A and B are shown apart, each in its own frame.
Chain A
Amino acid sequence: MSDLFMLLCLSLSLTYIILYMIFKRPLLALFIFPVIMALGLFAKMMPTTGPSDVIIESVWLYIHLPFTILGTALFLFATISSIMYFVQEKQLKKKNFGFIFRRFPPLDVINSLTTSTLMTGFYFFSIGVFSGIIWMGYEHGRMGIFSPKMIFAIVTWFIFGTITYFKQFRGMTPRSTAYSTVAGFVSVVVTYIGVAIFLMG
């Protein structure tokens, strides 16, 4: 389990580096590094159970794990930029041009950061979820597929899928995008807690 969180820390750092190269917004680090620190500490406190204790290794695991983790990392960035969007939009509407306003990126940049992390995250997460379903099907049959954590994973996938669909084909206001991204991320967290409970026993 601690390995899983360590892997998440690694993906978050890696994702930050890639996003920094594209968007040149070091401010993201202010939000992401506390999360990485907290996850690292959390991983330290976790009992170390190797995947082989509970899980039978298979090729699907090696597809499922990295894609899900990377997808999650990207969703976390989408959530952070959604929160940044709320803050910056509020400053603009309230005409409050103080300390925060000056340091935050332009609204459009935040919006495109949300969009690109969401889309990429969704593709990764899709591969992760479906390889997970196949793998669970192999290992545990129907019981595995309808376990609570699987249901949550599918719900999460549906939330992000809906956002992606609307953004691509219907047009969606940035504010609704931000709200639904935060909601989707809550569901991601719930899924992870489900995984943790499942692994611990």
Chain B
Amino acid sequence: MQLAVVGLNHNTAPVEVRETLAVADEMLAELYKGILTNDRIYEAMVISTCNRVEYYIVTDDFLCNVESVLRIVSEVCGISREELQKYTYIHCGSDSVKHIFRVASGLDSLVLGEPQIFGQVKDAFENARKLNASKTFLRKLEEYVIKTTKRIRTHTGIGDNPVSVSSAAVELAEKIFGKLEKKAALIIGAGEMCEIACKHLISSGIGELKVTNRTFAKAQALAESTGGKAVPMEHYKDELANVDIVLSSTGAPCYMVESTDIKKVMAKRKYKPMFLIDIAVPRDIDPAITDIENAYVYDIDDLKAVVESNKKLRQKEAQKAMEYVESGLESFYHWVESMKIVPVIKSLREYFDDKKYLELNRFCDKFKVTDKEERRRLEYLLSAYMNKALHTPLNNLKDKGPNKGKYTLDEALEIIFDLKDS
């Protein structure tokens, strides 16, 4: 049994193809049923996000079964086989396991190291479980995917440095103020950029949020959706003394925040630091404010520079993450190998069980044991002895079985029964 994956992502397929192939949750049951009708495909799982659609199958004949997966997908999604082949990549065996480790930890994402994909992969595994499409192999794989991804997130900085403009701005704010719980922010404008920034500020636990906009209704709508407070445009300058963070993104042709405004409020603020973020073009915040002590102004270019340097840092961390992928792969395949020995262990147990009952019956016949209680005790004794005696060799078989070393018979026995130590 091995894993194979047929998939497409943002690198291999344009968005119109990806949306054609995207699998809605309600389609999943039918799709799994279709794939699993092929009796050489034992397990299946589908990951479908806006940037990728991937079909994972557990099979023993991957070449012909990938063909059948492609056929089923092309039928279900109404796209020709040739067209489909143009956009897909196919991995098999350990390459496909490595691929899912990379996908889950965000190493294959459009934004390197983004955390959302991990949740989406976990959901995909869960759906496959619910619909009975995943069994032993995929369930174990799920365990290893979660373990490896968590290790990567904990031990590397893959998700540490924000790579979007607004999250970089919030990170800078945290570098000035530390925790944002007791801080207030004023958002000037109510466009998409402001909305995203609001979300980032809220998730960083900002204490108070105020929104102002030329169209007051828009400010109110944004304030309502984020739990902030709307401020009329004519009064926003009065708020400058009470806020620590100002973020502006409007289409105004002149400065919304002048250097003189900040000079005026600094004494009132007892010279506490003030952080001004300008993501508008033309700029909204007077760059001369930089010369005022304890006021820090960053425009869109500064933030982009931060994002660029963070991307480089993430790429460095991605190399570190690959080491964890490799070690996860190794331990997963150790398990796969140990599974091969399971049938042997099973037959060995059955063999001993048969012998146990054979001897028990002979003993009872020979010594005229008719009392049921006595027979039960004898059986208990034999079972206890057998379990004790077999415990070590069976465990050793499971652990040392996957070792690819070739042993002579006597070496193998020494290993299985721990004879060297005794």
Contact = CB atoms under 8 A, between A and B. Distances in A.
Nearest to A97: B306
Given A93-B296, A95-B302, A97-B306, A171 B178 contact: no
A171 B267 contact: yes
Interface stretch (A6-14, A42-50, A100-108): A100-108
A93 B176 contact: no
B319 interface: no
A108 B305 contact: no
A197 interface: no
Interface string A32-53: 0000000000000000000000
A107 to B, nearest CB: 5
Contacts of A92: 175-176, 296
A58 interface: no
B115 interface: no
B56 to A, nearest CB: 38
- Chain A CB within 10 Å, residue with most, of B177, B298, B302: B177
Contact of B305 (A93, A95, A109): A95
Chain A interface size, as a band, is: 10 to 19
Contacts of B255: none
Contacts of A109: 178
A106 B294 contact: no
B176 A175 contact: no
A191 B294 CA distance: 33
B239 interface: no
Q: What is the interface residue range for chain B against chain A? A: 10 to 19
A107 B270 contact: no
A191 B177 CA distance: 36
Nearest to B176: A107
Given A93-B290, A93-B296, A173 B176 contact: no
Interface string B278-317: 0000000000001001101010001001100100000000
Contacts of A171: 267, 270-271
B177 A108 contact: yes
B174 interface: yes
Given A92-B296, A173-B271, A101 B175 contact: yes
Contacts of A173: 271, 293-294
Contacts of A174: 271, 273, 294
Interface in B74-109: none
A106 B271 contact: no
Nearest to B306: A97
Nearest to A171: B270
B376 to A, nearest CB: 63
Contact of A106 (B175, B270, B293, B306): B175
Contacts of A29: none
B293 A108 contact: no
Contacts of A93: 290, 296
B177 A107 contact: yes
A18 interface: no
A132 to B, nearest CB: 34
11 contacts: A93-B290, A95-B305, A97-B309, A106-B177, A107-B177, A107-B273, A108-B176, A108-B178, A111-B273, A171-B267, A174-B294
Interface of B: 174-178, 267, 270-271, 273, 290, 293-294, 296, 298, 302, 305-306, 309
Interface of A: 92-93, 95, 97, 101, 105-109, 111, 171-175
Given A107-B177, A173-B271, 16 more contacts: A92-B176, A95-B302, A95-B305, A101-B175, A105-B178, A106-B178, A107-B176, A107-B273, A108-B177, A108-B273, A109-B178, A171-B270, A172-B271, A173-B293, A174-B294, A175-B293
**A-B complex: 9 closest residue pairs judged by Cβ atoms:** A171-B270, A106-B178, A173-B271, A109-B178, A108-B177, A107-B176, A108-B178, A173-B293, A95-B302
